[in-house]
Amino acid sequence: MFQPKTDLALEAREIHREQSREEVLGVSVDKQEVGDVLITRVEVLNENGANTMGKPIGKYITLESGSLRKADADFKDEMSKLLAKELKAIVPKKEKIKALVVGLGNRDVTPDSLGPKVVSKIFVTRHLFKLYNKEKDIDVIEMSAVSPGVMGTTGLEISEVVKGIVDNSKPDIVIAVDALASRKVERINSTIQISTTGIVPGSGIGNERRALDKTNLGVSVIAIGVPTVVDAATLTSDTIEMVIEAFSKQTKVGSQFYNMLRELEKEDKYELIKEVLEPYSANIIVTPKGVDEIITNLSQIIANGINIAMHPGIDLKDVNRYIH
């Protein structure tokens, strides 16, 4: 059966509801609108929910707004504060917490450069703690950051690199940032997902590596991602759905053509898509134009959110003044 490619938990739930016409047992959903932003909190509660959704047990929070694509300074500030609030709510409560931010992706490929760009804006302090032999500070925590590159350029498995850093620097938590994939064009570059279940590097473009999660790293892993790409088969499937909907409105109900459109199953559409795309290599990844500026804005929002959430003495005024 054709399964649209997505890394978003809320979309996995949507797919199940479309296919089964039922809610997912073992999954709770809460929605909240804050200004122009829709916050959806999905929690996978048990194994049934995990198996149905194809997502590990844990929390998945998404912040959606079309304004993210053309964010002005005020909106970026508001999104940073919202992100910080949601992130702070799921970070383990521990005195003198130490954090490692990992920026996944390829800095030379714009849609995949979100992670490295976020890392460049993180307020790192671990070296200062070591230099001054400090155990605790009232304003900042011990924070380090790394962008390990991609296997194609380093020859190293990302999980091995991060595991080595974790074993040596001994953080209490890893925050991994990466680009994701979505099943819907409207969510590209307009959605930020936070999860407590870790992340699989390269999953957004189908090059899945070993997961960065508590099982493999030995510490809690929070993942932050933005869908920056959609694969061609998913895009085409959605387009056909919209075309069928448009044609249906122009066609007499009960006519042979109307019935043919309505009876076209998802599997049939997928086979049609595959047949058309096969000669041109079906595994095509698409990203919208203007992605350079969008990724820069998103990286600033995410980095500011992390800095505010993790450092107790840093607020929006500080990050805008000192951290670029």
d(CA 256, CA 246): 16
* Average pLDDT rounded to a whole number, residues 83-108: 94
DSSP for 86-146, written as a single string: HHHHHS---TT-EEEEEE-S-TTSGGG-HHHHHHTTS---HHHHHHTT-S--SS--EEEEE
pTM: 0.86
Number of separate helices (H) and strands (E) present in the chain: 13, 9
Residue 34 burial by Cβ neighbours in a 10 Å radius (0-12, 13-18, 19+): middle
Nearest CA to 221 out of 178, 187, 189, 191 is that of 178
Residue reference for tokens 């505010």: 308
Question: Would you kindly state where each structural domain of the chain is located, as residue ranges?
Answer: 9-229+289-322, 234-280
**Range from 74-83, 263-272, 289-298, 315-324 carrying the lowest mean pLDDT:** 263-272
Half-sphere exposure (Cβ direction) of 9: Cα atoms closer than 13 Å = 35
Other residues' Cβ atoms within 10 Å of the Cβ of residue 269 = 17
pLDDT tens-digit map of 238-288: 777 777 677 667 666 656 766 665 666 555 665 666 677 666 655 567 777
pLDDT tens-digit map of 2-50: 456 688 999 888 888 877 778 888 999 999 999 999 999 999 999 999 9
Q: Which two tokens stand for residue 221?
A: 């892993």
Whether 219 has a pLDDT exceeding 80, the answer reads yes
Q: Which residues of 73-82 are buried (b: 16+ CB within 10 A; e: fewer)?
A: eebbbbbbbb
Nearest CA to 221 out of 191, 201, 241 is that of 201
Q: Which residues contact 145 (CB under 8 A, 6 or more apart)?
A: 100, 101, 102, 103, 119, 122, 124
Q: How high is the pLDDT of residue 261?
A: 58
Given 3.40.50.1450, 3.40.50.1370, 3.60.15.10, 3.40.50.2300, which CATH number is that of 9-229+289-322? 3.40.50.1450
pLDDT tens-digit map of 127-140: 999 999 998 899 99
Q: How high is the pLDDT of residue 264?
A: 61
Whether 123 has a pLDDT exceeding 50, the answer reads yes
Nearest CA to 174 out of 104, 207, 222, 126 is that of 222
Q: Which residues contact 205 (CB under 8 A, 6 or more apart)?
A: 112, 181, 229, 285
